[in-house]
Chain A
Amino acid sequence: MAATKLTRSQQIQQTILYPIDWLEERSGIVGGIKYFLFRKVPGDTNWFQTLGAATLTAFIVQALTGTILAMYYKPDPNGAYSSIQHITNDLFAGWLVRGMHRWGASVFIILMFMHMGRVFLFGAYKYPRELNWIIGVLLLTMGLGEGFTGYLLPWDQTSYWATVVGININGTAPFLGPFLAQFLQGGTYINADTLSRFYAIHMLLIPGAIFALIGLHLYLVVRLGVTSPPWSKEAAGKGPITNGKVTTGRRGLSRFGTRGRR
């Protein structure tokens, strides 16, 4: 019975910490999140290095708004167009969520290209990050695939004929092109199954692949650390390097300024 009574503020602290500790003890998740969010990065990273996270945010917005649109959209040739009209004109905030998904699609693609541009201009694709560039290229093709398959879904004249043209462009690829086109259409011509096929690819197949690839992409970002900008003094060995020790987060630093033939 020697336990001293906790003060009010200690009590509150305990109430908050208890469930967090409970989780941490059983999963290590808090440590994991801390490891991910508070890892070391070069001191002179700048705003351009947020473009990757911006792209990620755009993708998450697409995934969320898309999931909600799917609750009202009907992927069948006789109902698709009218279900889109219903979403836009009748349902509460339907115009907003549809608009977010439609404009967000362009934002996502643009951000992806800007992120890719910054990686290129910073030379951040070089050793040891070549693999992450390759994963990035896969993400880019997947993202463009999302754009192509999503464009058909409103099932109006523009989307229908643009998709006819797009499928036939695929068809002109050498050797396997005709097979690719016929696979995309699900037959010799666009038919009743084509729309649901595109819908399944658009909402399940490609997003699943993108999620998986983003996982790998971020794993490599954390494992390898991010690069300094090419003008970095720190990286050239002229700036302060604390403790004289190059930590994991700083390993990329030593790259610049020491280039040359082996």
Chain B
Amino acid sequence: MQPHDQHPHVPGPSLWPVGFAVGVVVLLIGLIVSWYVAGLGAVIALAFAFLWVRDLTTGTALVDAPDVEAEHAAAAASLLPADGGEPATPPAERYPRSKFLEASTLGLGAVIGGLVTVPALGFMVAPAFLKQGQKDHDIGPLTDYPEGTFVIATWMSDKSQGEVSRRTAFVRYNGLLGSQPSYTIISNHCAHLGCPVQPNGPLDDKNTKQLADVTLIPTVSIAGFGCPCHGGQYDTEGNRTAGPPVRALDRYSFSIRNGRLFIGKPFSVSHVEGTGSAAKIHKWTLAFPGEHVNGLESWLYPIQPPH
């Protein structure tokens, strides 16, 4: 150490951060170009990070015992026990009772604090995750869904909440598959970031039907779906054809009771092979928009909250 050292805590100059920055850049470029380049970048960054940290820590108290100057020694000694293990300035003698009172005050305070905080925090967080399931919803008689064209169905999933609970789906009757009727029910939540996708084609809105809280707008012939927010495009099976979405549009399950169509639980779809009743749907549990449901990137989302 130099004699008149004014700022002993400033790390000295080091060139390693430059290498670290290069590594990060290579890593980012690799994410676009190829995984090998990304891996190389990660290795470079880690290596230089290690060198940098080593450079920073040499000569600090983390690594070497400080050679305390005389002036500071006294101050340091009063904080640390001296060599013999004895504190240099012995603290005043303490009675067991005062120690007990101190511990019980702190302990009691912690208990009271916990009793107040835990339920309050629980109330803040838990309702968002409990009782999330939605009941099946009646969206009208089967006769309102002609074969081969989409009908835009909107309904209130929870009447007590009002318009804020309105959902929209595109419903198409595909005819019979064997003896079972087949429906394609596509959610309007864009698989990019959740904007409402629109049908690409004319609507037959003169024939709009209003049934209780359900509105049905028939379409004439649509070529797919498009998103107003960032231009995501989908075909009539909900497969992504262009733009930023990471997977196909979500779908709803359905059931039929007394000649009426009921909309069921939503689920996510990576892609669909084939069309109509012959389609093979690659189905996954419901994920938020923007999340990959299959492939390497889906490892980033190992657990989904209860939907």
In contact, A161 and B229 (Cβ under 8 angstroms): yes
Interface string of B271-307 (1 = CB under 8 A from A): 0000000000000001111110000000011111101
CB B113 to nearest CB in A, in angstroms, measures 18
A77-116 residues with Cβ-Cβ distance < 8 A to B are 77-78
A1, B161: Cα distance in complex, Å:
81
Which chain B residues lie closer than 8 Å to A258 at the CB level?
6-7
In contact, B193 and A165 (Cβ under 8 angstroms): yes
Interface string of A170-210 (1 = CB under 8 A from B): 01101101110111011111111110000000000000000
A48-89 residues with Cβ-Cβ distance < 8 A to B are 77-78
A183, B129: Cα distance in complex, Å:
8
In contact, B59 and A262 (Cβ under 8 angstroms): yes
A191, B127: Cα distance in complex, Å:
12
Cβ 8 A contact of A187, one of B12, B128, B163: B128
A121, B206: Cα distance in complex, Å:
64
Contact of B5 with A by CB under 8 A: yes
A183, B167: Cα distance in complex, Å:
20
A172, B300: Cα distance in complex, Å:
9
Identify which of B125, B286, B290, B307 gathers the most chain A CB atoms within 10 Å of its CB.
B290
CB B304 to nearest CB in A, in angstroms, measures 6
Contact of B2 with A by CB under 8 A: yes
A168-B288, A191-B165 as given contacts; A254 in contact with B6, CB under 8 Å = yes
A255, B164: Cα distance in complex, Å:
58
In contact, B164 and A192 (Cβ under 8 angstroms): yes
Please report whether the interface of chain B is mostly helix, strand, loop or mixed according to DSSP.
loop
Contact of A261 with B by CB under 8 A: yes
A128-B9, A168-B194, A177-B288 as given contacts; A182 in contact with B129, CB under 8 Å = yes
In contact, B132 and A262 (Cβ under 8 angstroms): no
A245-262 residues with Cβ-Cβ distance < 8 A to B are 254-255, 258-262
A182, B127: Cα distance in complex, Å:
10
Which chain B residues lie closer than 8 Å to A188 at the CB level?
132, 286, 307
User: Which residue of chain A has the shortest Cβ distance to B1 in the bound complex?
Assistant: A262
Contact of B115 with A by CB under 8 A: no
Interface size class of A (residues with CB under 8 A): 35 or more
In contact, A172 and B290 (Cβ under 8 angstroms): yes
Which chain B residues lie closer than 8 Å to A127 at the CB level?
7, 9-10
A175-B300, A262-B59 as given contacts; A77 in contact with B163, CB under 8 Å = yes
Which chain B residues lie closer than 8 Å to A182 at the CB level?
128-129, 288, 305
A128, B289: Cα distance in complex, Å:
44
User: Which residue of chain B has the shortest Cβ distance to A254 in the bound complex?
Assistant: B6
Q: A77-B162, A186-B128, A262-B12 are in contact. List 19 more A-B contacts (CB 8 A).
A: A77-B163, A161-B196, A172-B288, A175-B300, A175-B303, A177-B288, A177-B291, A178-B287, A178-B301, A178-B303, A182-B305, A183-B125, A187-B128, A189-B157, A192-B161, A192-B164, A194-B164, A262-B2, A262-B10
B→A interface (CB under 8 Å): 1-2, 5-10, 12-13, 59, 125, 127-129, 132, 157-158, 161-165, 167, 193-196, 229, 286-291, 300-305, 307
- 24 sample A-B contacts, Cβ–Cβ < 8 Å, listed by A number: A127-B9, A128-B9, A171-B290, A174-B301, A177-B301, A178-B287, A178-B288, A178-B301, A182-B128, A185-B128, A188-B132, A188-B286, A189-B165, A189-B167, A191-B158, A191-B165, A192-B161, A192-B162, A254-B7, A255-B6, A255-B7, A261-B12, A262-B1, A262-B8
